[in-house]
Structure 1
Amino acid sequence: MNLKRHFARLLFFILLAPLFASAQDLTSDSIDVFIKTKMLQKHIPALQLSVIRNNKVVKLSTYGTANLENNIPATDQSIFSINSITKAFTGVAIMQLAEEGKLKTTDRLSVYLDSLPDAWQKITLQQVLTHTSGLPDILDEDEQILGNGVEKAALQKAKALPMEFSIGDKFSYNQTGYVLLGQIINKLSGMHFTKFIEERQFKIAGMPLTRFGDSYDVVPNSAGAYTMTKLVNGQFVRNQTPGVGYIQFPLFFRTAAGIQSTAADMANWIIALKEGKLLKQKSSIETMWTPAILNNGKVGGFNRLTNGYALGWPTLTRNDHPAVGPVGGGRSALFIYLKDDLSIVVLTNLMGGNPDQFIDEIAGYYVPELHEANGFGLSPDIKKLRAGLLKQGFNHAASVAADLQKGNAGFNLEEKALNEWGYQLLSQKKPAEALTIFKLNTTLYPTSANTYDSYAEVLELTDNKKDALVNYKMALKLDPKNKNAEDRIKKLSDNN
């Protein structure tokens, strides 16, 4: 070995180490600022975060207050309900049984369960796991379990209901199938499914604080549950401050929801899954994370973000930075980025905190392309427009859009997509750029009341009340039922 070269290289890395460390610290500090801002905006009392890279936890942080009533700060030991993320554990449990040869996901439910209605006989485990079965839901319209929460009575009532749609026709979130999966796990594993998941996942992954439970259980270090909605005169209304939330999950329902955990434990679970400790075959994970294809050849999911659903796992089916992303109760979420060696867990104690809506932005601190400010999430055509505007200037929006349309017959700037981008630019503190996009939208969609209403709103925010009034009037002319435009016209007219 060339000792001189060896010591030179050693010195080089010693000198650079503080620079790497400071860059990592800067990233961590930036994430902290971002999360604290989001918590203020959304009124989230407490939040836990874990970030995993190269199968190691690179950031584990806790913020806020676990218990508002007694002003108890959240810690890394605080335990959060993960609600429907539980379904991902059920997906793993089914794949574990598949690896043991005890079932196939393509098998029909009737192979394992007796006394199913005729309409349920052809439904497969895969269709149940992916919410494409068409089964009637075991929850009523008020999201209460049928039969007063008694398993036998609930299933009897569900079996008497008609199918919601033909098998495989669409995605429709459904809890009935997960109750049936619990019965199958009980039968094939020789133990209750909660015990099977505890033994085969919690213990193996190293999740000492994770357990099954709900609001009734006394859980040490529980972060509890809070909500911004309140029942007033029979209607749910949004409150200004969080109130206490309460929800119970009967034992038989806990394949669908019912696990409580910490961000550290969830990180250990992800690492164990990726390292082959929970599922031995790589093909098992690939199967588990492949979204269902509907009869029309498309995928179906909750929304534009979590737009597909695999075996217990919602998916972010997209060309750039695809991910699987279990979400729970509108309060907790985790994303595993399939091509980026990055996983992020965010647990909160606010129902409606919806961390799935900002996990991509956290990921952007590690993979800059994922930052919204860098154009991530925009449609391909909006990205082309953005590239042209960055090159030629936002003040040339109309001509850039026209040139792009001339060169490509399939080029389409959708009204809703433009509107959303305009609000993104506004949130990024780029009001001038936002105004040009909203103005462009009124040019492209001159008969849409919404385009004028949005444009007027931003004009008003930027203190151009005269032009705001003109555009609110146009919005009201196009849609006489536009209450917002009517109210703003009155307000602006009175002030003049």
Structure 2
Amino acid sequence: MQQRHIPALQLAIVRDGAIVKNTTYGIANLEYDIRATDQTIFSINSITKAFVGVAVMQLAEENKLKITDPLSRYLDSLPDTWKSITLQQVLTHISGLPDIMDEEEQVMGHGDEQEAMQKVKTLPVEFKPGEKFRYNQTGYVLLGQIITKLSGMHFTRFIEERQFKPAGMVLTRFGDSYDVIPNYAGAYTMTRQVGSRFIRNSVPGNSYMQFPVFFRTAAGIQSTATEMANWVIALKAGKLLKQSSSIDLLWTPAILNNGKTGGFNILTNGYALGWPTVTREEHPAVAPVGGGRSALFVYLKDDLSIIVLTNLMGSNPDQFIDEIAGYYIPDMHESNGFGLSPNLKKLRAGLLMEGFDKAGAIAARLKKQDPAFQLDENELNKWGYQLFAQKNITAALAIFRLNVTLYPQSANTYDSLAEALEAAEQTSEALANYRKVIALAPQNKHAAARIQALSAK
């Protein structure tokens, strides 16, 4: 929280079908210095989509729809290019639909559903369905229309009746910044827009979020970590979906036309029915994330689920939930090598046995033993910074130096090494490496500024 300037954070841990840790930290309202409590309500933003996935599967269990059905089976007046797109493609963001968000990241239509749909229907599809993953809000608006039509009640009420109530979520509700919500933590951000640029501030500022009612399948649920934990418990216990096969389908990532999965990044590298997935050999998970401020990880091979809700946009708790998991599954700690690629793990094993000062020789030997052995520049760079954050300066410097040796034409490798050397107070060597950055990338403002600052000392 200190590193990321997070004002308030709620944490809930689920093991063996029960909440084993439930803690709230920090300040819910900075203006009035109001501390957060276990009753404080946070926006979960796009984690709302996971509820929509469950709602769709509830209707599927009642034989009211099939996820392989085309949109046109349930909705009229669709453009011809939309009609064959399936519910599954919409749920998994591989539909190619044009986005109902405009270039300013605002929902089209000024809060009016009819106006928004009229505008988005005039736009061309972005790609052939199944061709790629591209996050898209339009499909979830359409899903809201389908849920409302097939359930006989507005989709918000259907989710309240069929998920909030069975899971005992008495504080959870739909809403946005316009609504007066008791004990609401609000939203803060470290960035602000100036023209076309985004400027990062040193302290949090207020952020305003508007989710028109018709858009609230995409975002709009407000909840607590405790109630989100109870929702996960209810889902895994069969209270929301009756068939285990429904949950299996809910959590299966979409396969693109090229046979691969697509997702947000290296970590959340797939997307299932409203649920981003962390597809990996070690400790795979389904991992809904919302607004860059909240995340929920259900570890599929482990009896562990973790919910982190915050009131800071851009705090990205998905980036540190695995580290929290390490307190329950020790091999998941970053310091134990979790998250490193197979080749980096081979390198790490050799370094731990022979010493980080032998990094170059060990890397060369591994390459000789296996010509396919390759160390990725970005992966090495990331590991170097992880070691540095763990206060293992000697090891970090060894990895940064190895990266420079392997990628001598990359300005970024010299820049990272220079930063670490500067932090280690090895000023003359830091200066030398910053100068190498400028030699390779003359426009690098960071290196130029550091050269000026260090030369003045």
Does the TM-score normalized on the shorter chain lie above 0.5? yes
Instruction: Identify if the C-alpha distance between structure 1 residues 109 and 46 changes in structure 2 by more than 3 Å, giving closer, same or farther.
Output: same
> Gaps (5+ residues) in structure 2?
none
1:90-105 to structure 2, matched below 5 A, reads: 90-105=52-67
Aligned to 2:106: 144
Post-superposition offset of 1:234: 6.0
* 2-structure distance, mates of 1:109, 1:162: 17
* 1-structure distance, mates of 2:434, 2:34: 47
Aligned-residue RMSD, C-alpha:
0.9
- Relative to the length of structure 2, the TM-score reads 0.99
* 1-structure distance, mates of 2:397, 2:197: 37
> Gaps (5+ residues) in structure 1?
1-38
Q: 2:21 aligns with which of 40, 59, 72?
A: 59
User: Larger radius of gyration, structure 1 or 2?
Assistant: 1
Aligned to 2:34: 72
Q: 2:253 aligns with which of 291, 316, 326?
A: 291
1:200-211 to structure 2, matched below 5 A, reads: 200-211=162-173
Supply the AA of the counterpart residue of 2:352: L
Supply the AA of the counterpart residue of 1:165: F
1:52-103 CA deviation, whole Å, 9 max, x = no partner? 0001100000001111111111100000000100000000000000000000
Aligned to 2:118: 156
Post-superposition offset of 1:457: 1.1
User: What percentage of aligned pairs have identical amino acids?
Assistant: 70
Q: 1:174 aligns with which of 136, 141, 156?
A: 136
* 2-structure distance, mates of 1:168, 1:361: 33
1:249-294 CA deviation, whole Å, 9 max, x = no partner? 1111011000000011001000000000000111100101001111
- Residue 383, structure 1, aligned to residue 345, structure 2: yes
Q: 1:249 aligns with which of 187, 211, 219?
A: 211
* 2-structure distance, mates of 1:492, 1:170: 47
Secondary structure of residue in 2 paired with 1:468: helix
* 2-structure distance, mates of 1:410, 1:284: 41
Aligned to 1:424: 386
Supply the AA of the counterpart residue of 2:316: N
Aligned to 2:400: 438
Aligned to 1:494: 456
Aligned to 1:120: 82
- Residue 44, structure 1, aligned to residue 6, structure 2: yes
Supply the AA of the counterpart residue of 2:359: A
* 1-structure distance, mates of 2:438, 2:445: 8
Supply the AA of the counterpart residue of 1:443: T
- Relative to the length of structure 1, the TM-score reads 0.91
* 1-structure distance, mates of 2:219, 2:113: 15
Post-superposition offset of 1:402: 0.5
Aligned to 1:332: 294
1:84-142 CA deviation, whole Å, 9 max, x = no partner? 00000000000000000000000000110111111101100000000000000000011
- Higher helix fraction (1 or 2): 1
* 1-structure distance, mates of 2:127, 2:357: 50
Supply the AA of the counterpart residue of 1:329: G
Post-superposition offset of 1:357: 0.8
Aligned to 1:216: 178
Aligned to 2:232: 270
Deviates more, 1:186-195 or 1:221-230: 221-230
Deviates more, 1:453-462 or 1:271-280: 453-462
Aligned to 2:303: 341
1:355-374 CA deviation, whole Å, 9 max, x = no partner? 11110000000001110000
Post-superposition offset of 1:230: 2.3
* 1-structure distance, mates of 2:197, 2:374: 40
Supply the AA of the counterpart residue of 1:416: N
Supply the AA of the counterpart residue of 2:130: G
* 2-structure distance, mates of 1:484, 1:245: 29
Deviates more, 1:417-426 or 1:218-227: 218-227
Post-superposition offset of 1:147: 2.0
Post-superposition offset of 1:233: 5.3
1:463-478 to structure 2, matched below 5 A, reads: 463-478=425-440
Supply the AA of the counterpart residue of 2:354: Q
Aligned to 1:322: 284
Supply the AA of the counterpart residue of 2:414: Y
1:24-59 CA deviation, whole Å, 9 max, x = no partner? xxxxxxxxxxxxxxx111111111000000011000
Post-superposition offset of 1:231: 3.4
Aligned to 2:441: 479
Secondary structure of residue in 2 paired with 1:417: helix
